[in-house]
Amino acid sequence: MSAERSILLSFATLIGLASLSSAQQSLESAFRTTGAEVVAAFDTPRQVLQTSSAVIEQGRTQLAYGMVVSSDGAILTKASEIEGKTGLTVRVDRQAFDEVEIVAVDPVWDVALLRVDADDLVPVEYIDEDAGDLQHGTWVVANGATSRLARRALGGVISANAREIPAAGGAVLGLVMEVTDDGVRVEEVVEGSGAERAGLEKGDILVAIDGMVVGIPEDIIEAMGERSAGESIQLRYLRDDGEHDVEVPLIAREELFAEQMMTRNDMMSGAFSKRRSGFPRVIQHDILSNRSTVGGPLLDLDGRCVGMNIARANRAESFAIPAAEVREIAARLMDGEENS
Amino acid sequence: MKNSLIVMVAIFAAFGTAAMARPFINDKPAPEGRGDLEVIQSLLHRNLPAARAATVAIELEKGSGTGVIVSEDGLVLTAAHVSTGVDLDLTVVMEDGTRHDAVSLGLVASSDAAMIRLLGEGPFPYVEYDSEDRTRLGDWVFSLGHSGGFAEDRGPVVRLGRVVRIAQSTYQSDCMLIGGDSGGPLFDLEGRLVAIHSRVGQRLPENMHVPMREFLRYWDAMKNGEFVGSGPFAQMPSPGTGFLGLVGEAGDGGLEIQRLANRGPAAKAGLEVGDVILTINGNEVPDRDTLRKILDEMAAGQRITMEIRRESGEHETLEFRLDER
């Protein structure tokens, strides 16, 4: 799928719109698909959003939504939206929690497990395990804007086939390298990359990657092979004080070079998620969310959880992790928590 | 026997009216709860498969858009800014990835309507269109489009919304559109094509579509390959920009080729030095000036049909396109 090659919709000019105004009729906003009168029909799922979705904030800034997965305070959210943030607060229904612990992160799915001190939360109820993928055109409901006390719902439909979204531009370390007499030397560490997080610096000499000796930069490209964003590789490097082993998390090239890789479709899309590719499997729907309304549950008309909203890809495409995978991720992250 | 026949006729008549009836949900200001939402959903479920099968990706050299087949023999409706011109070669991709050659017919440059013809062997899956202008403000509609280009594992993307504004040559809906959707279909809940995606507002979620009435108004002109109106959605190619790539002199019965440009369109089409051009697009070409006059009227990319006589005396007809000068 080449977004850049697609023919772009032309922008209507204001003059063009103004010239139509005499003969046109317009639908009041309350009756539009996202309007209050239409949204009122989603009352059952809205009740579930009220009790089982979470609002994650830092001060007055809303960062993301979350979904409650246990009565004793386990909440899933989108990891990259809260990464590096401190002083998080979480609101569920009418309760507010200022002590929030980031317990575990699944970097492949970009899901974080948060823990708040509670014992009476209402976890989401998943659809039947053997339900399979929802048919195209089936109603789904997700978080819209929120007030302090009330969650709002937005409706949409399943838009396309469930599928993998490969890391845009492939998975990268975030290193610019140069071949020197001493070996492959780091020329630059890209800001925000896994290499930077792992502590690599300009001048380090790369010795081995996943146990394989590095002779030329192509060795690294080969070792990266079919790796996905979210996975890590073992890197051994040489610095003045000797050899060091580190684990370097891989991220999507698009995430690292977001600005340089903006397409015209992106420019017409407003606030899309920073991490919006590199998911093993997603369902796609047309609920018009924005970056900070991602992370909450995706519900059916009965209010059962059919997925977890994980990315706003652009102005017209939203991705959710399917229920079966969310269930597995939640169980695995909570299990790891118990064992640690 | 006679009685049963009458009963059957009555039943058919009843079915007929039922099929024509407008879904009641369109006349409610908003759905009143779960039951109404399910009415919308069941109509969408019922009509999506046929709508998807007729929705195609349109690929050109410079990008891709969407279109929809409206007849068994492969007439496709799309946007003028997707087809970009008259009589151009295109590739059409079906839902399952099957590719067909196609050629652009006419377009309306002022309102963004265009027609394409599939060249493959039919019958093709197609949809009915609204020829009676039945769409009203607030009607529920769904859009299909190959957003960002054809992707077989994803398929065409469906979005649900309402008609939120109606103007003379534009509908606006709240089905969100993005690049690649251009030229794609907007359907009513009964699966009838009501408009073609055209453009979006720069800031607000405004999604504009060209209604069927605009297509019907120019139907015959488009089918006949006419370039209707001027801008902003398509530019008429400028005459005199075409390149043929040959030099000739008046010869026996036509223009005898003296030289051919390396890799020029004439050479690529198989013309050889010594061949005599008898006619171009049906016009005789006795000398150089006549050729110049014909080319001055033609634009880059335009199709040329050339009748020639080889040195062996054999007659041939070649068809190719002019390059850019």
Specify the long-range contacts of residues B205-209, CB closer than 8 Å, at least 24 apart.
Answer: B205/A288, B205/A315, B205/B174, B205/B176, B206/A12, B206/A17, B206/B172, B207/B143, B207/B161, B207/B172, B207/B173, B207/B174, B207/B175, B207/B176, B207/B177, B208/A12, B208/B170, B208/B171, B208/B172, B209/B143, B209/B170, B209/B171, B209/B172, B209/B173
pLDDT at position B204 over 70: no
Q: Report chain A residues whose CB lies below 8 A from the CB of B186.
A: none
- Token pair listed for B241: 């920009």
CB contact residues (below 8 A), chain B span 285-324, against chain A: none
Q: What are the phi and psi torsion angles at B282 (to 5°)? A: 90, -10
* Structure-model confidence comparison of residues A144 and B140, the more confident one: B140
Does B33 sit within 8 Å of A9, measured CB to CB?
no
Q: What does pLDDT average to over chain B?
A: 89
Rounded to two decimals, the ipTM of the complex is 0.79
B15 assigned to some structural domain: no
Residues of chain A with CATH 2.40.10.120: 31-165+265-339
Number of domains in chain B: 2
B97 assigned to some structural domain: yes
Q: What is the pLDDT of residues A287-325, one digit of tens each?
A: 976 667 799 999 999 999 999 999 988 878 899 999 999
Residues B209 and B126 in one domain: yes
What is the C-alpha radius of gyration for chain A, rounded to an integer number of angstroms? 22
User: Is B136 an 8 Å CB contact of chain A?
Assistant: no
User: Is A133 an 8 Å CB contact of chain B?
Assistant: no
CATH code for A31-165+265-339?
Answer: 2.40.10.120
Using the 3D structure, point to which of B235, B251, B266 is the last residue of a domain.
Answer: B235
- For domain A171-253, the question of CATH label 2.40.50.140 is answered with no
Residues of chain A with CATH 2.30.42.10: 171-253
Residues B170 and B253 in one domain: no
B1 assigned to some structural domain: no
Residues B220 and B253 in one domain: no
B7 assigned to some structural domain: no
Residues B230 and B247 in one domain: no
B4 assigned to some structural domain: no
Q: 3-state class of B115 per DSSP?
A: strand
DSSP tag of B26: G
B12 assigned to some structural domain: no
Exposure of A274 by Cβ count < 10 A (0-12 exposed, 13-18 middle, 19+ buried)? middle
Using the 3D structure, point to which of B235, B269, B295 is the last residue of a domain.
Answer: B235
- How many residues are recorded in chain A? 340
Residues B230 and B254 in one domain: no
Q: Identify whether A123 is preceded by a cis peptide bond (ω within 30 of 0).
A: no
User: For position B6, what pLDDT does the model report?
Assistant: 46
Place of tokens 């077989």: B152
B17 assigned to some structural domain: no
Residues B138 and B186 in one domain: yes
Q: What is the pLDDT of residues B50-90, one digit of tens each?
A: 999 999 999 987 789 999 999 999 999 999 999 999 999 99
Using the 3D structure, point to which of B235, B262, B286 is the last residue of a domain.
Answer: B235
Portion of chain A with pLDDT greater than 90, in percent: 51
What CATH number is attached to the domain comprising B138? 2.40.10.120
CB contact residues (below 8 A), chain A span 2-21, against chain B: 2-3, 5-12, 17, 20
Residues B104 and B65 in one domain: yes
With a CB cutoff of 8 Å and minimum separation 6, the contacts of B319 are: B269, B303, B304, B305, B306
User: For position A21, what pLDDT does the model report?
Assistant: 44
Q: What is the pLDDT of residues B100-152, one digit of tens each?
A: 999 999 999 999 999 999 998 889 999 999 999 999 999 999 999 999 889 98
B69 assigned to some structural domain: yes
pTM of the shown model: 0.81
pLDDT at position B316 over 60: yes
Residues B202 and B251 in one domain: no
Residues B185 and B134 in one domain: yes
What CATH number is attached to the domain comprising B272? 2.30.42.10
Does A156 sit within 8 Å of B30, measured CB to CB?
no
Strand order in the sheet with A95-97: A95-97, A88-92, A53-58, A61-68, A74-78, A111-116, A100-106
Residues B124 and B205 in one domain: yes
Residue B78 belongs to domain spanning:
22-235
Residues B162 and B287 in one domain: no
Residues B109 and B146 in one domain: yes
